[in-house]
Amino acid sequence: MARVKTTRKKTAPRSEEYSYNVGWSEEDDAYIARVLEFPSLAAHGNSQANALREIRKVVDIVIKDLTAEGEPVPVPFGKRRYSGRLNLRMSQELHRRLALDAELQGVSLNTLINTRLAFSGQ
Protein backbone atom coordinates (compact mmCIF):
# COMPACT_ATOMS: atom_id res chain seq x y z
CA MET A 1 0.00 0.00 0.00
CA ALA A 2 1.26 3.48 -0.84
CA ARG A 3 2.24 5.85 1.90
CA VAL A 4 -0.08 8.82 2.26
CA LYS A 5 1.66 12.20 1.96
CA THR A 6 0.59 14.43 4.86
CA THR A 7 0.97 17.97 6.10
CA ARG A 8 0.86 19.62 9.52
CA LYS A 9 0.40 23.15 8.17
CA LYS A 10 -1.74 25.54 10.19
CA THR A 11 -4.14 26.02 7.27
CA ALA A 12 -5.51 22.62 6.40
CA PRO A 13 -6.67 21.80 2.88
CA ARG A 14 -10.37 22.24 2.08
CA SER A 15 -12.53 19.26 1.20
CA GLU A 16 -13.01 20.63 -2.35
CA GLU A 17 -9.29 20.14 -3.02
CA TYR A 18 -9.37 16.34 -2.71
CA SER A 19 -9.90 13.70 -5.43
CA TYR A 20 -13.27 11.94 -5.36
CA ASN A 21 -14.71 8.90 -7.09
CA VAL A 22 -18.44 8.09 -7.16
CA GLY A 23 -19.90 4.84 -8.44
CA TRP A 24 -23.01 2.71 -8.19
CA SER A 25 -23.07 -0.21 -5.73
CA GLU A 26 -25.56 -2.99 -6.48
CA GLU A 27 -24.87 -4.48 -3.06
CA ASP A 28 -25.75 -1.25 -1.25
CA ASP A 29 -28.36 -0.12 -3.80
CA ALA A 30 -26.82 3.34 -3.61
CA TYR A 31 -24.08 5.52 -5.03
CA ILE A 32 -20.85 5.21 -3.05
CA ALA A 33 -18.39 8.10 -2.90
CA ARG A 34 -14.75 7.70 -1.91
CA VAL A 35 -11.82 10.08 -1.58
CA LEU A 36 -8.41 8.92 -2.83
CA GLU A 37 -6.39 10.73 -0.17
CA PHE A 38 -8.46 9.16 2.66
CA PRO A 39 -8.80 5.50 1.53
CA SER A 40 -10.77 4.42 4.61
CA LEU A 41 -13.58 6.95 4.07
CA ALA A 42 -16.79 6.37 2.11
CA ALA A 43 -20.30 7.79 2.00
CA HIS A 44 -23.45 6.86 0.12
CA GLY A 45 -26.39 8.66 -1.44
CA ASN A 46 -29.38 8.09 -3.70
CA SER A 47 -27.65 10.09 -6.47
CA GLN A 48 -24.07 10.83 -7.45
CA ALA A 49 -24.48 14.42 -6.28
CA ASN A 50 -25.83 13.33 -2.88
CA ALA A 51 -23.04 10.80 -2.37
CA LEU A 52 -20.43 13.42 -3.27
CA ARG A 53 -22.03 15.96 -0.94
CA GLU A 54 -21.99 13.40 1.90
CA ILE A 55 -18.35 12.37 1.46
CA ARG A 56 -17.31 16.03 1.43
CA LYS A 57 -19.10 16.50 4.76
CA VAL A 58 -17.21 13.51 6.16
CA VAL A 59 -13.89 14.86 4.85
CA ASP A 60 -14.62 18.27 6.43
CA ILE A 61 -15.21 16.58 9.80
CA VAL A 62 -12.08 14.43 9.53
CA ILE A 63 -9.91 17.42 8.57
CA LYS A 64 -11.23 19.42 11.54
CA ASP A 65 -10.62 16.49 13.91
CA LEU A 66 -7.09 15.85 12.63
CA THR A 67 -6.23 19.54 12.81
CA ALA A 68 -7.64 19.89 16.33
CA GLU A 69 -5.59 16.90 17.49
CA GLY A 70 -2.42 18.18 15.82
CA GLU A 71 -2.37 15.13 13.55
CA PRO A 72 -1.13 15.28 9.95
CA VAL A 73 -3.72 15.86 7.21
CA PRO A 74 -3.26 14.19 3.79
CA VAL A 75 -2.07 16.57 1.08
CA PRO A 76 -4.49 16.70 -1.90
CA PHE A 77 -3.05 15.08 -5.04
CA GLY A 78 -3.44 18.38 -6.90
CA LYS A 79 -1.01 20.05 -4.48
CA ARG A 80 1.61 17.31 -4.45
CA ARG A 81 4.84 17.83 -6.32
CA TYR A 82 6.69 15.03 -8.05
CA SER A 83 10.40 15.12 -8.87
CA GLY A 84 10.18 12.79 -11.85
CA ARG A 85 12.67 10.46 -10.18
CA LEU A 86 11.67 6.96 -9.12
CA ASN A 87 13.80 4.25 -7.54
CA LEU A 88 12.40 1.01 -8.94
CA ARG A 89 13.26 -2.50 -7.79
CA MET A 90 12.75 -5.47 -10.10
CA SER A 91 13.98 -9.01 -10.53
CA GLN A 92 17.41 -9.54 -12.05
CA GLU A 93 15.82 -11.40 -14.95
CA LEU A 94 13.43 -8.54 -15.78
CA HIS A 95 16.30 -6.04 -15.50
CA ARG A 96 18.37 -8.16 -17.91
CA ARG A 97 15.50 -8.48 -20.43
CA LEU A 98 14.78 -4.75 -20.35
CA ALA A 99 18.47 -3.89 -20.73
CA LEU A 100 18.71 -6.21 -23.76
CA ASP A 101 15.56 -4.70 -25.32
CA ALA A 102 16.93 -1.19 -24.79
CA GLU A 103 20.24 -2.14 -26.39
CA LEU A 104 18.48 -3.73 -29.39
CA GLN A 105 16.36 -0.59 -29.85
CA GLY A 106 19.35 1.71 -29.43
CA VAL A 107 17.85 3.63 -26.50
CA SER A 108 18.72 3.99 -22.85
CA LEU A 109 17.10 1.71 -20.29
CA ASN A 110 15.41 4.78 -18.79
CA THR A 111 13.91 5.77 -22.16
CA LEU A 112 12.68 2.23 -22.81
CA ILE A 113 10.94 1.99 -19.41
CA ASN A 114 9.45 5.50 -19.73
CA THR A 115 8.06 4.68 -23.18
CA ARG A 116 6.55 1.39 -22.05
CA LEU A 117 4.96 2.99 -19.00
CA ALA A 118 3.57 5.84 -21.08
CA PHE A 119 1.97 3.46 -23.58
CA SER A 120 0.62 1.11 -20.90
CA GLY A 121 -1.60 3.89 -19.55
CA GLN A 122 -3.39 4.53 -22.84
Domain limits, CATH 1.10.1220, in the chain = 83-122
pLDDT tens, residue by residue, 77-114: 999 999 999 999 999 999 999 999 999 999 999 999 99
pLDDT tens, residue by residue, 28-60: 999 999 999 999 999 999 999 999 999 999 999
Domain 6-79, what fold? Answer: Double Stranded RNA Binding Domain (3.30.160)
| The predicted structure's pLDDT at residue 12 | 87
Is the Cβ–Cβ distance between 84 and 110 less than 8 Å? no
The conformational region for residue 70 under phi > 0 = left, psi -120 to 50 = alpha, else beta, is left
Number of H helices, E strands in the chain: 3, 5
CATH pick for 83-122 out of 1.10.10, 1.10.443, 1.10.1220, 1.20.1530: 1.10.1220
pTM reported for the whole predicted model: 0.70
